[in-house]
């Protein structure tokens, strides 16, 4: 169950970050509200995960997976720069996530 909560937490963190993009400096009401709703759900999921998982592992996976997903979404949907360095950096983040889980 911890992995389901962690996955949900990551998804809602990503949704919260996407909402930040659309909130336009908190000038748009609905995306601004969604920032807080999605981050609230994300943090609540993380709280449940921490009942059964070490904080260093859970937070490391939560934060880095969210970062990698947002980087990919930014490049694919928001037309952000794509470079070899960016792709390699996101790849290292993903390797770090795997390292945290596989070599714990």
Q: How far apart are CA 27 and CA 21, in angstroms?
A: 11
Number of domains forming the structure of the chain: 1
Whether the full predicted model's pTM is greater than 0.85, yes or no, is: yes
Domain residues for the domain of 30 are 2-102
pLDDT attached to residue 55: 93
By CB neighbour count within 10 A (0-12 exposed, 13-18 middle, 19+ buried), where does 31 fall? middle
Q: What is the mean pLDDT of the chain?
A: 94
Q: Which of the two residues, 33 and 57, has the higher pLDDT score? A: 33
For residue 104, what pLDDT band results from cuts at 50, 70 and 90? Answer: low
């Amino acid at each position: 169950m911890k992995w389901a909560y962690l996955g949900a937490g990551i998804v809602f963190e990503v949704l919260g970050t996407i909402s930040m993009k659309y909130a336009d400096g908190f000038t748009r009401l609905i995306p601004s509200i969604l920032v807080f709703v999605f981050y609230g759900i994300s943090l609540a999921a993380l709280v449940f995960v921490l009942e059964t998982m070490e904080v260093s592992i859970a937070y490391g996976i939560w934060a880095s997976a969210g970062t990698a997903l947002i980087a990919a979404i930014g490049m694919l949907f928001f037309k952000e720069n794509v470079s070899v360095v960016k792709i390699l950096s996101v790849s290292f983040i993903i390797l770090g996530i795997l390292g945290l889980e596989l070599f714990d």
